[in-house]
Structure 1
């Protein structure tokens, strides 16, 4: 179960065969600038395993995002996160540096938003973003999110939460 393809992108579940691409993506200092550090290959493998567990448990997670021609763009999808002591469905995205600034993150995030609303029947969606990560915040705002709260993330500091009600969004 994945979001429908968009005008330029398609989604698929991560597999162990994606380790090279995911290690490159999550190991890129620019992509991971607002994380504590880029992820080494072993953490990229754990990232894939975590998403495979999410697919098994929930039917969704972060998916591989590719162009319709099959070029690897990054990952984007839906995961459950803790926000101020409550579970919240988050849309998350990581886009290869070479593909940033082309609207792929917004296009993929909008498809995931629609999937959460139309397929999963979820009524609320959040994005948890480092306060200085303005490009990521712009993506969230482009898909209709607004500022909700600031939270303290135990593993790597402050985060800003943007959120939206999903009924009637398009």
Structure 2
């Protein structure tokens, strides 16, 4: 069993830590931001952000991974979340790398840097054999992130919300 307090290694600019209930304000602001959530059916409520934190804390305990809080190494400033979660896509559960970056910090390469660290964690710590990114077709920035970290387009699928998605995937 993996230690439940493992996190990806820091990168040149970013650090990772587990979410706690104390992160509710920043996570509610992140997940409630219409710009950050523009490729989702809708922004999340504060209660849904609390559920998001609880879900990730449960994943840490049960799977040894989840979405982690991402901060700038130099200042500790909150960037967003990034990590690895189980996702059911067309009756198959896959490990997905996912992230959200504060709108004010988008376009600086933080998503790619964080996602690459999580890919390495999946390969080197979890010994995962495959990794996916599930991306809405209109979300070109996330498609580019997936490709930059070595997850090329694999196929079109239908999400749990019954929306079309692109599955980017690779064996690790």
TM-score, length basis structure 2 = 0.95
Secondary structure (helix, strand or coil) at the match of 1:19 reads helix
Contact 1:36 1:156 in 2 (8 A): no
Q: Does 1:160 align with 2:166?
A: yes
Indicate yes or no: 2:13 matched with 1:8.
Answer: yes
Partner of 2:128: 122
Which consecutive residues of structure 1, in runs of 5 or more, have no partner in the other structure? none
**1:123-168: CA deviation from partner (whole Å, max 9, x where unpaired):** 10000000100001111111011111111113151111000111xx
Q: 2:104 aligns with which of 98, 102, 106?
A: 98
Aligned to 1:86: 92
Runs (4 or more) in structure 1 with deviation over 2 Å come to none
- 1:35-114 aligned within 5 A: 35-68=40-73, 69-114=75-120
Q: 1:29 aligns with which of 20, 26, 34?
A: 34
CA distance, structure 1, for counterparts of residue 163 and residue 118 of structure 2: 26
Unaligned runs of 5+ in 2: 1-5
Cα offset, 1:85, TM superposition: 1.1
Q: What number of residue pairs does the alignment pair up?
A: 166
Separation of aligned partners in 2, 1:73 and 1:164? 26
Kindly indicate whether the alpha-carbon contact (under 8 Å) linking 1:35 and 1:156 is maintained by their aligned counterparts in 2.
no
**Match of 1:160, SS?**
strand
Report which stretch shifted further, 149-158 or 57-66: 149-158
Aligned-residue Cα RMSD (Å) equals: 0.7
The TM-score, its normalising length taken from structure 1, stands at 0.96
Q: 2:154 is matched with which residue: 148, 155, 161?
A: 148
